[in-house]
Structure 1
């Protein structure tokens, strides 16, 4: 227990106390400093703040759905490779899943920015880059999100696909089932809890992304994480109490998502045990 004391102290100092201050600030009036619900009323009725939640939900939902589909395809392809090659790919995928933030945005700017390597190469070859594609827009943000969402999805989906026994497929084929029938009746039901849990984790991961989006687009795209940062430390007019209110609502949504994901992951473990 004594060895756990430093851990608990760090948790209290860097998680519990800041959270308590943030909640207190969200109920504090900007003018009088007293208790008020006006901050929540303003956030919930202001279309600009509502749009930030909607935009974050849209980009997170798109990156989670598209990333999950591609993750399933790649994971299934990996299961058909030699074991040694699978292990090497898993190491690379683990690295790619953790390569995010400002370094990821900077890498995309070098490759696909206005003066990026690929952009200049395609211009000199008289080949347009995906038509009207712009890195510093919703299109670029979506592709950047997919870069770290796909490896994250593979890390969760791949072990579930590895658990599917080849004997199940052979038995299904011997009984006259087609490949589509096998996946609809046997394969997908076994990995569906893992797919659902992975989607929720990827959605939460997309919602909480800040550094990549800010480094790539600045404040041009109204996302809730960027809006919170602007309100807390704005160069022109900071409103920390409103930022705290947004953060509390955002934290409540994230905790609900993560709680649901934990429930689904427990079901996955029971099914795969």
Structure 2
């Protein structure tokens, strides 16, 4: 019963504020723009209707999946952020004090956050996938390319993206338990996702032997889980890719590692 109460409390805290839907709107706009742009470039090159373009050679059959997978390829930062904010906001606004007074077992509080984090991650996955499919399919039809909306592979891809979004939310919760300062946590998340990982993964595709290391990076594991990667299509991906199930386990492993570190360090400290 305590776990149920903790989950209900977390659900109320998460969905009674504007933060989740504001990030959701930004996610939809960002993913839709990216998917539309990719569909325009790859579709235009493949169809030969984008004159003067010298892009990567991508088969027409593989373009829809590549475009749709941009939901996680660029949108994973949003569930990661919301998961981080689910923890750091409690420290910043001192709401963790009444939470722990009502539920003294801190592990139960974290499990409640994990349950709601999965829900929010799946919700973001639905929003991101819908934006990518709608925008991407719309642009692809302009170039007379089959958007593959009736393909089982397309909806399998979407299902894996939902799992990836949920796992990224859990990783964010883990990060939040380790870095309790909200500003620092947000800066770290944005710096790693927008600069560090893309640069290092690009280098991994160019430096022999380094690609095998990059394969185990969180974003690379996420791409493996989904089954597609923009890095690979652009010729700058790592040398190999994990199996989809292994990619999911690696991403879950990051969440667990961060959580364990947080449990034995920050999460045990007294609340300021």
Structure index of larger Rg: 1
TM-score by length of 1: 0.33
